[in-house]
Amino acid sequence: MSPTPDRTIAITKALLTGWSVNTRTNPDRSTMLLLSRDGWRITVTFSGLTATDATLQRPNEDSPWELDVNNLSRYLRGHRQRMAAYQLGDRVIVGDRPGFVVDIVPQDELRVLLTVAYDDGSEGQPYTTHVQREGVPA
């Protein structure tokens, strides 16, 4: 996807990767693209065909936060099962270190990075493939 996503390309990529797509035209004639998948919500505002603003709301998050439109592609194409595997606040174990999920960021089509706040006060960024839910046998 180009650095500033084109509306048609964004819609196509979203549909190809399982996002529900809705559009709305604002009074100023800009277009909003409303995307949802597995509790994730992305809203993108377009002026003509060019994305100008975007927000992201992850599952269990109270309100959306600003998303750099240049990072939109990583969320659209992020590995669906790995993005949905964990939610903010989930208790997890990485190796022998317990903690809880504080951030989820897809890196590409396969890898999803978690930020985990460990019970010892430190923080780490393991991939979802290196994490297990607390209380679930490996």
Average pLDDT over the chain, rounded to an integer: 91
| Closest CA relative to residue 9, chosen from 37, 33, 40, 39 | 33
CA gap 100, 130 in Å, rounded? 14
The CATH class of 81-133 is mainly beta
125: number of CA atoms within 13 Å, CB side? 8
In single-letter form, the type of residue at position 85 comes to A
Q: How confident is the model at residue 23 (pLDDT cuts 50, 70, 90)?
A: very high
| Structure-derived torsion over alpha carbons of residues 81, 67, 126, 19, reported in degrees to the nearest 10 | 0
Q: What is the mean pLDDT of residues 26-46?
A: 94
Domain boundary assignment for the chain: 7-77, 81-133
